[in-house]
Chain A
Amino acid sequence: MVRATSTPRPRLGVVKLASCDGCQLMLLNLEDALLSIAERIDIVEFPEATSHRSSGPYDVVLVEGAVSTPEQLETIHEVRREAKSLVTIGACATAGGIQAMRNWANHDAFRAAVYAHPEYVESLATAQPVSDYVKVDGELRGCPINGDQLLEFVAALLTGRRANLPDEAVCAACKRAGRVCVMVAQGIPCLGPVTMTGCGALCPGFDRGCYGCFGPREQANAASLGAQFVAMGQTPVEAGRLFAGFTGYAPPFRDVITELGGAPGIPAGHAPSPASTGTPSGGN
């Protein structure tokens, strides 16, 4: 009566670029659902969990991490070719992650400062979100992604509906949860007003300001919030650094950092623009 439901199990791949592994770990952290998911989804590539390997094709591939080396650049194009649907998971894949803070800096100097033999280390001048290089069909934000959102994504995939992932500010979830605004009541700078919800307004519940794990929400007025931080007594560079976290390379956070300062290793008032995007080999 209804269309056949005995479709073959979707083939899922999990692929990692420059990242901390935390987002793919979230899949293993769905302890109650993990074995049920494994019965319904054919996990063909997930090096964190299984020795079985597959280079595709995939119905869905979850990509964790930023594109930051020539090899990763090749990988992401290969994965894109093999995937019907490519979904980026986490701040590194969706916004460049913490390593994208180097995009404001001189890459060669960075590399030389960390490694005795920089010539042994291959990396691109910038760390970029996956969508700067290939088409992305969906994204799960967060540093790390949220387990409930991941489960919702899987349920939606299996049910054939749209995942219910709100695009509202952290403030909306914070107020539903009955939390008191830390910015208004305690003068603590909080990125909640400009950050996409998804974490359940975690940090204000722990008496601290949001630090932007889920990245800018649509219409994020980061400039106004940055100005408010300065009005509250932060120096411009301090205010800029609050944005220069795990999603700082995503516009408009990126623009506020460039405007106010706060990128790593850059003295106050001398913040250059981030290295140009989309030119993987171009250094600065």
Chain B
Amino acid sequence: MTSSAVTTVTTEPRRGTGFLPRAEFQHLIDLLGEDGRTVIGPTVADGAIVYGEVRAVSDLPVGMGAEQSPGRYRLVDHHDERYFAYAVGPTSWKRFVFPPTLDLAESHRDEHGHVSFGPVHHEIPKLAFLGVRACELAALGIEDRVLLGGPYTDEDFRKRREHALIVAVQCAEPGGTCFCTSMGTGPGVRGGHDVLLVELADGFLVSSGSEEGAGIVARLGLSAATEDQLVEGSDQLVAARDRIGDPVATAGLHDRLLAKLDSPRWAEIADRCLACTNCTAVCPTCFCTSVSQRSDLDGRTAVTERRWDFCFTKGFSAVALGGNFRPRVQDRYRQWLTHKFATWIDQFGTSGCVGCGRCITWCPVGIDVREELNLIAPPPVLGTEAQVAAHAPRTSVFHVDAVRPETHDTVTLALSTPDGMDWSRLHGEFVMVSVPAIGSIPISISRRLPTGMELTVRAVGPASTFVTGLERGAEVGLSAPLGHGWPVEAAHDHDVVIVGGGMGFPPLRPIVDEILAHRASFGEVHIYHGARTPSDLLYKEELAAWASRGDLDVGVTVDRADTTWLGRVGVVTQLFDHARWDGSKAIAFVCGPERMIQATVSTLAARGITQDRIFISMERHMECGVGLCGHCQVGPFFVCKDGPVFSLAQLGDVFGREGI
């Protein structure tokens, strides 16, 4: 998958290539099926060539192919003996290594409120994939990077991958929507397989790509392929490449595409786009998922189920209180296309597209990404290799040690874990709070404690309402702290400006704690908190205590006053619009509703704080918390993993853009 390989076609057969006569193909199927393996390969069903169980040659699409064009697929009978003379159909191997639905965990809550969490164990089937194309091998390689290459890994995927034997078949019959040549993934197979087949008129060239594959090939007991047979195979591949051509200009695609975020074309596509999710569902690399809980009638036992999710749905980018960061279809289509062809490269060092053409064929209205890319704008920029893997976070049981009401709908919970871990040493900005049968929500840490943490929670949805109703002694599930938090150390020897609007204030409180623990290391410290009404103000006593210290500048304001309120009224920026501090030496930390952040950022910029010294925390729809489910993406970033705290300089163009 390097750009230099884009136009290279492997025509050189491996040494040791054998020839399997067509009449003996059943022998290979039988060998693959040994050791308890199920052979999955092409078979005709419901008007298409799909992947299903293959026990005999007669299960294969003998003589069958398909015509493919945007929005259209029709089986055709070639009236010949070939088994693999077709371009990829609607199924991809993703289904077998990354199941559409998967039970992840089971949780319980007994009548005393005790909670427990445990994984669901799955029997991983041993499979042999028969008929894997070059583009599909590339897709599996991309999935490896996404799901195994980061700090958190999908262990179920890893096991399924390891349990699958891969028999690749060289492409000889590309379809009308293929563009692997442009994406540099085919048509020639360049590794990743155990066995490689090249289908000829009367049999198969067979070679191995791994030790396991070599063992199988050896047991076939083949005669060596003749020179003519090798030439026939390479000619086929060259012909296939020529038929595909180079339909998409990929040089500079990443930059060209990201430069066109405001193209009017997005809205034009949205006029046709059904947002039906077919393109993402048939894509062999799309990896986004959602989790939900199924519970029994009493909510005692729940199973957490993960399922494929798609960035074209409303729920995908929805957040609490009905908000949605990508309300329009044009926002969703842009997210999908720019992620696939541009920001994916920033995230994973490779394009997210392998050029298999499925999204074109299976779009019910025939939207053609080749055409759209060429119309809108751009060669994949390659990034770094994957990092060392760590396991996804486990849910631990925490006890509520204390409950302090903050407002009518908001409480601060002090939580600790009996497992003895020193939580204060774990970095991370937020935790996923899980309640069996109710749900799971991300909550920012509002204070670090030696044995746990404080969380300040407002009752908004069912899960947060449940959590705010917990009493001392109750149990909940918490993940380890996740995400990148505030770079407080970067503020050493600087002035600090902290601006928190509403529920944006709690995540900022650990900064104040840190400053107070090392007060001498910081310059002037300004703390500003705005709330809707006086009764919505948080941490009133603490704010008063901080203000009375003399070494902190504390300002508080409300949007709407009541009769008891003698303080400032107005938006939070009014607190420092005319303040006398010097922004050139300050670092700012800002958290609150998106609109408040935007207003604050422009006021801070006007006060002379540069973009690299303004840090904000972003709100997005989060499900997994570790960059695997895909929901919280903003441009090239996963908010949960790369954020939620970002500097404005880091966000660049992405900050404040509608629908991203």
Contacts and interface: CB of A to CB of B under 8 A. Distances in A.
Interface string B343-366: 000000000000000000111111
B362 A181 contact: yes
B461 interface: yes
B471 A168 contact: no
Interface string B80-117: 00000000011100010000110000000101110000
B278 A181 contact: yes
A161 B463 contact: yes
B45 interface: yes
A185 B362 CA distance: 8
Interface stretch (B291-299, B632-640, B646-654): B291-299
Contact of B470 (A2, A161, A207): A2
Contact of A179 (B46, B75, B296, B329): B46
Contact of B113 (A2, A171, A180, A185): A2
B462 A172 contact: no
B111 A5 contact: yes
Interface in B490-523: none
A29 B57 CA distance: 44
The residue among B328, B362, B364 with the most chain A CB atoms within 10 A of its own CB is B364
A190 B310 CA distance: 20
B364 A190 contact: yes
A21 interface: no
B267 to A, nearest CB: 12
B437 interface: yes
B466 interface: yes
Given A37-B297, A172-B277, A159 B100 contact: no
Interface stretch (A58-66, A138-146, A218-226): A218-226
Contacts of A37: 297
Nearest to B52: A178
B449 interface: no
A51 interface: no
A184 B361 contact: yes
B313 interface: yes
A167 to B, nearest CB: 5
Contacts of A112: none
A194 B274 contact: yes
Nearest to A207: B46
Contacts of B74: 185
Interface string B313-342: 111000000000000110000000000000
B313 A167 contact: yes
A180 B277 contact: no
Contact of B281 (A166, A172, A224): A172
A141 to B, nearest CB: 15
Please classify the interface of chain B as helix (H, G, I), strand (E, B), loop, or mixed, using the class held by over half of its residues: loop
Interface string B277-290: 11001100000000
B151 interface: no
A52 interface: no
A154 interface: yes
A7 to B, nearest CB: 12
A225 B50 CA distance: 25
Contacts of B437: 155, 159, 161
B347 to A, nearest CB: 24
Given A155-B295, A159-B437, A161-B299, A224 B272 contact: yes
Contact of A155 (B281, B299, B461, B470): B299
B33 interface: no
Nearest to B466: A160
A177 B46 CA distance: 13
Interface string A105-135: 0000000000000000000000000000000
A169 interface: yes
A14 B141 CA distance: 54
B281 A171 contact: yes
A36 interface: yes
A162 B281 contact: no
10 contacts: A37-B297, A161-B439, A162-B439, A162-B462, A172-B313, A178-B91, A184-B90, A187-B72, A194-B274, A221-B274
* 3 A-B pairs closest in CB distance: A159-B299, A175-B281, A193-B276
Given A161-B299, A166-B313, A181-B73, 10 more contacts: A2-B109, A2-B113, A152-B294, A155-B294, A160-B466, A178-B100, A180-B47, A185-B46, A219-B314, A228-B71
